């Protein structure tokens, strides 16, 4: 049995480890076109901001360690074509400039996403970046040395984390966002406003409703961003306007692409072509609240899909349980989190949804350093079925979102939340935790 894996980060390496552990006789080969495998891309902004020591700290398992486990890791090897019928892939060794044909019995596409690069003039100027992987991070780090002004295009969670990293380096930061608010559709308007306030209080110049038209430069280096609202001068421009699933190989292999634009898979991570699996950011998953196919590319999803694919490719039996749309990010002193649906998303789906908002403190008000926490809880009118929650508050308080996520997995109701025995002591919570108060108010 020869298992070939394309892509060596979260999904690919999780699959490789699982497959090898379950079936030590199988030959497992990973082709990665870059130089890095098995690292936490989620930590990239924190290396730039200085909270994480260096790039190596993000690496979970080195190629040497994987090889010691019996997994063949080929760096700088790009898979350029798949012949599903013949059971072969074409591989370009980027260093040697040679192409070879490699056989497989099972193939996993764990190719992730690529950052959207808008069709602006002069994106080839030095000092213009995206942030997707460690080499991108290293290039940004080099550009930031000696820079004074940074313009971040895009106010999604990666743009927000980058803004914080640049402020930590004492740089002046302008954030340009096309939409009326930052944080995209991750949060409802009222919660996006809180995120924006925190950015502005920490010195980020947030400009929304602004469309970028192109970049300006001098002697090959970027000097600014030309927007409909005027020119923003910048020594470094970081473009964080979203990602798209890398599905070219899947298409070449005749694999079905879903309506979301990502690869359609069943819950064993099998694609529409027998013997071909897909896992991670390039895949759709099923939303357990809406039962719809969605594309929400996040780290835990990628790791778990990889495990499931690894087990199944090695001859075992595992199923991906679906997701509930849980996400969390840091904004300077705050955390913002959501799970399930926002009120706006529920409205768009035609659900009869109702929300309550509660502001309380993260722990007992009389205990020192209590700080505000804002919660929106959303449920289906009439049935009381929980649909989602959004939270903005101090960083330590925000993992509460997991309580609601757990209930959403079991299609829980508001009454279930209201009846829960949640942990209480003054340094951690109020006796009636903010989630219980919200559930009471909604019930
Ligand atoms: P990727 O990590 O994209 O890996 C795919 C690999 O495949 C790449 O190394 C690529 O080089 C390789 N590849 C592609 N095509 C080929 C080919 N043809 N041949 C050979 N190799 C190929 N998620 C969270 O849940 N929480 C967070 O806080 C968070 N923060 C993030 C912050 C940043 C800045 C970024 C960029 C991402 C963040 N994410 C976060 C998302 C998370 O990192 C991804 O969900 C995860 O990395 C996806 O893993 P993956 O293996 O599916 O894809």
Angle at 205 between CA 202 and CA 211, to 5 degrees: 145
Calpha distance 377→389 (Å, rounded): 5
Whether residue 121 is predicted with pLDDT greater than 90 in this model: the reply is no
End-to-end CA distance of the chain: 55
332 close to ligand 1 (CB < 6 Angstrom): no
Whether residue 291 is predicted with pLDDT greater than 90 in this model: the reply is yes
Return the pLDDT at 257. 98
Q: Which of 338, 400, 395 is nearest to 369 (CA)?
A: 395
Return the pLDDT at 79. 98
Q: Compute the distance from residue 385 Cα to the ligand 1 centre, in Å.
A: 34
- The verdict on pTM exceeding 0.95 is yes
Q: 42 catalytic, yes or no?
A: yes
Backbone angles phi, psi at 369, to 5 degrees: 55, 30
pLDDT band at 122 (very low <50, low <70, confident <90, very high): confident
For the segment 150-172, the average pLDDT, to the nearest whole number, is: 98
For the segment 228-240, the average pLDDT, to the nearest whole number, is: 97
34 close to ligand 1 (CB < 6 Angstrom): yes
**56: number of Cβ within 10 Å:** 12
Best mutation site among 4, 5, 10 for ligand 1, i.e. most ligand atoms within 8 A of its Cβ? 10
327 close to ligand 1 (CB < 6 Angstrom): no
Residue with CA at minimum distance from ligand 1 atom 33: 42
**180: number of Cβ within 10 Å:** 9
Q: Compute the distance from residue 93 Cα to the ligand 1 centre, in Å.
A: 21
Q: Which residues does residue 285 pair with via DSSP β-bridges, in sequence order?
A: 294
- Is-contact 2 103, C-beta < 8 A? yes
Average pLDDT, the chain: 97
Return the pLDDT at 123. 85
Return the pLDDT at 41. 97
The model's pLDDT over 300-322, given as tens digits with 9 standing for 90+, comes to: 999 999 999 999 999 999 999 99
For residue 352, with 0-12 CB atoms within 10 Å meaning exposed, 13-18 middle and 19 or more buried, which class applies?
A: exposed
Helix or strand (DSSP H, E) at 359: strand 353-361
Whether residue 255 is predicted with pLDDT greater than 90 in this model: the reply is yes
The model's pLDDT over 45-100, given as tens digits with 9 standing for 90+, comes to: 999 999 999 999 999 999 999 999 999 999 999 999 999 999 999 999 999 999 99
111 close to ligand 1 (CB < 6 Angstrom): yes
47 close to ligand 1 (CB < 6 Angstrom): no
Q: Which of 105, 140, 107 is nearest to 126 (CA)?
A: 140
Nearest ligand 1 atom, CA 91: 19
Calpha distance 157→327 (Å, rounded): 10
Query: What is the longest distance spanned by two Cα atoms in the chain?
Result: 70
9 close to ligand 1 (CB < 6 Angstrom): yes
Residue with CA at minimum distance from ligand 1 atom 41: 298
Angle at 430 between CA 426 and CA 432, to 5 degrees: 140
Best mutation site among 281, 296, 301 for ligand 1, i.e. most ligand atoms within 8 A of its Cβ? 281
Return the pLDDT at 383. 97
- ipTM over 0.95? The verdict is yes
Return the pLDDT at 384. 97
* The length of the chain, given as a count of residues: 443
List, edge to edge, every strand of the sheet that includes 2-6.
71-74, 27-31, 2-6, 106-109, 276-278
List, edge to edge, every strand of the sheet that includes 77-83.
77-83, 88-93, 98-103
The model's pLDDT over 129-145, given as tens digits with 9 standing for 90+, comes to: 999 999 999 999 999 99
DSSP letter string, 58-91: GBSS-HHHHHHTTEEEETTEEEEEEETTTTEEEE
For the segment 205-234, the average pLDDT, to the nearest whole number, is: 96
Whether residue 418 is predicted with pLDDT greater than 90 in this model: the reply is yes
Return the pLDDT at 149. 98
For the segment 210-223, the average pLDDT, to the nearest whole number, is: 96
Return the pLDDT at 118. 94
């Amino acid at each position: 049995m020869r298992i070939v894996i394309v892509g060596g980060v979260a999904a690919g390496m999780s699959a490789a480890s699982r497959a090898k552990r379950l079936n030590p006789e199988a030959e497992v080969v990973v082709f990665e076109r870059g130089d890095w495998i098995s690292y936490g891309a989620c930590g990239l902004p924190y290396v730039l901001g200085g909270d994480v020591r260096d790039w190596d700290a993000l690496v979970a398992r080195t190629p040497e360690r994987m090889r010691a486990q019996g997994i063949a890791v080929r760096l700088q090897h790009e898979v350029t074509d798949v012949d599903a019928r013949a059971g072969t892939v074409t591989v370009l060794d980027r260093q040697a400039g040679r192409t070879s044909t490699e056989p497989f019995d099972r193939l996993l596409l764990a190719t992730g996403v690529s950052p959207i690069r808008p069709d602006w003039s002069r994106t080839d100027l030095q000092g213009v970046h995206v942030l997707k992987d460690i080499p991108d991070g290293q290039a940004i780090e080099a550009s930031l040395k000696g820079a004074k002004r940074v313009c971040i295009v895009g106010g999604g969670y990666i743009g927000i984390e980058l803004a914080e990293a640049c402020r930590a380096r004492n740089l002046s930061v302008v954030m340009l966002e096309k939409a009326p608010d930052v944080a995209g559709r991750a949060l409802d308007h009222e919660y996006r406003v809180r995120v924006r306030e925190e950015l502005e209080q920490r010195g980020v110049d947030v400009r929304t409703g602004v469309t970028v038209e192109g970049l300006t430069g001098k002697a090959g280096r970027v000097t600014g961003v030309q927007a409909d609202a005027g020119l923003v001068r910048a020594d470094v421009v970081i473009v964080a306007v979203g990602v798209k699933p890398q599905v070219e190989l899947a298409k070449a292999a005749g694999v079905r692409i879903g309506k979301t634009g990502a690869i359609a898979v069943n819950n064993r991570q099998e694609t529409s072509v027998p013997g071909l699996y897909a896992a991670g950011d390039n895949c759709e998953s099923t939303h357990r609240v809406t039962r719809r196919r969605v594309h929400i590319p996040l780290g835990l999803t990628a790791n778990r899909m990889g495990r499931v694919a690894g087990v199944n490719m090695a001859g075992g039996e595992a199923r991906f349980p679906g997701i509930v749309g849980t996400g969390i990010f840091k904004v300077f002193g705050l955390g913002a989190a959501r799970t399930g649906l926002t009120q706006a998303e529920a409205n768009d789906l035609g659900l009869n949804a109702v929300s309550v908002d509660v502001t309380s403190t993260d722990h007992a008000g009389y205990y020192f350093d209590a700080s505000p926490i804002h919660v929106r809880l959303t449920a289906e009118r009439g049935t009381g079925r929980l649909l989602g929650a959004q939270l903005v508050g101090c960083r330590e308080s925000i993992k509460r979102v997991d309580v609601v996520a757990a209930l959403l997995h079991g299609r829980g109701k508001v009454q279930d939340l209201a009846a829960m025995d949640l942990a209480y002591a003054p340094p951690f919570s109020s006796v009636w935790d903010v989630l219980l108060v919200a559930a009471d108010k909604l019930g």
